[in-house]
Structure 1
Amino acid sequence: MILTLTPNPSLDRTYELPALERGAVLRSAGDRVDPGGKGVNVSRAVAAAGGRTVAVVPLGGPEGALLARLLEEHGIEVAGVPVAGSTRVNVTLVEPDGTLTKVNAAGPEIATTAAEAMLEAVRARSADAEWIACCGSLPRGPGPEWYAEVVDRTHRGGGRIALDTSGAALTAALGRRPDVVKPNAAELSEAVGRPLATVGDAVKAAQELRGRGARAVLASLGADGQLLLDESGTYFGTAAEVVARSDVGAGDASLAGFLAAGGRGPAALAAAVAYGTAAVQKPGSAMPAPADLDPAPVTTTTDIPVSRALTEPTR
């Protein structure tokens, strides 16, 4: 079982448009609503693969009730924590060439009592969890050290934790030795305070995060592939080029694949790449099912192309 904690979940509404024209009345060629938030997406990917997953989420207002219903329809066990205010609604506009325009709401402010209730829900439901995946931005209310507290409590309970966040929350948690951190290239660059222009730059940045406490780093480099640095070595994973329909939730699908495959070594990295590649070919934030996965074109290697320029270098 994989338990996820998403402190700032959402309802994700996606509209597919023939063109995005500012100031115009636009008619959607297709639309969908999905339960959203990084940890929620991890749970959705695990459930789509037939695995058991529990999602700890704050729920507020009718939006929160709809989020809980959608999660249950996906086969996800919901450990909901009532909060004041309403669960946020995010909007994504998709153009035919794959360009995405996102509007993310701030979400409700989480009171101290509700933040503690989420930590207690994690403790109460994690006894048989193989992994706890703690994902996404922090809501208004909890300070950046809140994720560090989640890591501490997980380890005190004998569990393993994967942390997918950024900024001050990531920095504060590194010293508590999370078992895995999963930054993308921009988040990795922010964490080390310098731009990344090559795969080698990303490797050095990931090594720095390990030096600051992370036991393993799974770094997504977008179309360029993924890096894994853990106690067994440094690995680089790639897949065949595909036509991307939407990259919303692709990193979350990657993390789900990585954890479901054991969360260690090249086999887990290969699963992460396969899941992420399948996810970008799905509409909106839809998660891939096993039938969508194509592991054949996925390769992993310890021969890292350190001089390869990143397609999208960070600034």
Structure 2
Amino acid sequence: MQPDQAVETTGGVSRETTGRVSRETPMNTATETTEWPSPWDDDLPLAREAQRAVKVLNPAGDVSMPRPGRRRVMGVANQKGGVGKTTSAVNLAVALALHGNRVMVIDLDPQGNASTGLGVEHGAGTPSIYEALIESVPLAEVTQQVEGIPNLVCAPATIDLAGAEVELVSVVAREHRLERAINNYPFELDYILIDCPPSLGLLTVNALVAAKEVLIPIQCEYYALEGLGQLLRNIELVKVHLNQQLQVSTILLTMYDKRTKLADQVEQEVRSHFGDVVLKSVVPRSVRVSEAPGYGQSVMTYDPGSRGATSYFEAAEEIAVRGAAMGAN
């Protein structure tokens, strides 16, 4: 202790003083009061998540994605199951619809997962895409408005669609049934997203004939590219014989796990092979994305602040910007 220091004790607290400094040190353990930052501080994760949610849900209609100069009919296809095909179709459709585009989802998969993800009724006896394909019922009579999203309608799939592959074999112009139904739809649309089954049968052929573009979701895992060559060959066959306007316009990388080197390798390989067709946005592997269909929702409405929702929003935004550019050409 320096000569000019003194120690005073008052009420169990020692006070050490000098000519310049005075500080108090509790002699017994005491709890210090911490001033927590506001949960709405822009730098906190909670605030950032809230900001993402507002951007994704767009409740005030402030954010709009550019609308295409012409209607875009996109088949969402991949013969490999479990790659995020239905999830991508549903979430991209919701993102586009929430931001000013008029969208229809056609569920062409007999499992009806896209219908489930949009919370649309698709039990036995429900008017569905089956009636439009097999019985020539107008598409407008089988579509349903998606609850809570005014710009989005869905043509659901019921279990009846499971027999459509066989029934279509004997139907006249069987490959053009969906195209005819879409062409006769009386209302204006910006996007039609067709969720194809994970096979290369007549239902998928109908989708590829009706569509002008193909969107291929690719899982960032080892078997991602297996079977893709066959899909591309089938697309080329449809283009040559049935639909000369068909093109692979968009590839979306899904289930990306940044912790693995493999995901990075798959991404690099896909980008080097397909170039600008691949969206810059990558959808991460997400529990929220997997949970949402169980509640009859897309991840956009189930957890709009999640990384999965933000990724699909960014992917939809890229698609919309590309569509506007295509319309200008």
TM range (shorter): 0.3 to 0.5
Report which of the two has the higher share of helix: 2
Could you say which structure has the greater relative contact order, defined with CA pairs below 8 angstroms and 6 or more residues apart? 2
TM-score, normalized by length of structure 2?
0.38
Q: Return the index of the structure with the highest Cα Rg.
A: 2
TM-score, normalized by length of structure 1?
0.40
